[in-house]
Amino acid sequence: MEYKIVEKKIVKEIAATLDSIDVQEVEQLVVEIEKANRVFFVGVGRVLLSLEGIAKRLAHLGIQTVVVGQITEPAITENDLLIVGSGSGESSFPLAIAKKAKSFKAKVAHIGSNANSSMKEYSDFFIRIPVQTKLALPGEISSVQPMTSLFEQCLLLLGDSIALMMIEEKSIDMPSLWQYHANLE
């Protein structure tokens, strides 16, 4: 199949999905990120890669971010936020970490596709990326892409959207952000 045809299908799916995300859920997440002392991230597989990208971008804004499992990971506290990326909300490692974070009274945000997953028990709030799941839930955006590609793509773009919202809200001078960029390259 021709690249341009495939590319247009993917971009159309991403646009439809991002347009379907609840603005109030995103705004609540921004408030919680700004209130937190540190923002921790947990996920698995390609979702983790998207979360690492979000963590890096927020670090460029001067936010203290931690990816769970890093060798320099500090203790989570009641002043921190854990962001869990899990489309299904059933992945065992993120579930265990969310449960542990709640035991230390940290806030937990779940970004996923299924609001009624097991993660609901440990989440303070939920941001739905309404992509196709095995459950065929109402309002799901179907995808021609393999597995959970659409979720992972939209998760990363949601993170970039949040970063830009924060930049614009605080009138941050974009060139000043380079002070936070890696310089041992």
Q: What are phi and psi of 127, to 5 degrees?
A: -120, 115
Give the pLDDT band (50/70/90) at residue 69: very high
Question: Model confidence over 160-181: pLDDT tens digits?
Answer: 999 999 999 999 888 888 888 8
Q: Tokens for 110, please give them.
A: 């779940």
> Which residues pair with residue 40 across a beta bridge?
66, 82
72 within 8 A of 59, measured Cβ to Cβ: no
For the chain, percent of residues with pLDDT exceeding 70: 100
Residue identified by tokens 């265990």 is: 96
Q: What whole-number distance in Å separates Cα of residue 90 and Cα of residue 112?
A: 10
Q: What whole-number distance in Å separates Cα of residue 162 and Cα of residue 31?
A: 10
Question: Model confidence over 83-117: pLDDT tens digits?
Answer: 999 999 999 999 999 999 999 999 999 999 999 99
Query: Which residues are identified as catalytic?
Result: 152
Q: Which CATH superfamily is domain 3-169 in?
A: Glucose-6-phosphate isomerase like protein; domain 1 (3.40.50.10490)
pLDDT given at position 88: 92
111 within 8 A of 158, measured Cβ to Cβ: yes
**Cβ neighbours for 139, distance < 8 A, ≥ 6 positions apart:** 20, 130
Residue identified by tokens 């179907």 is: 142
SS3 for 157? Answer: helix
pLDDT given at position 74: 98
The mean per-residue pLDDT over the stretch 22-48 comes to 97
Tell me which DSSP letter residue 141 carries: B
Name the H helices within 36-148.
Answer: 45-60, 92-103
The pTM assigned to this predicted structure is 0.95
98 within 8 A of 123, measured Cβ to Cβ: yes
Q: What are phi and psi of 60, to 5 degrees?
A: -65, -20
- The full set of domain ranges for the chain reads 3-169
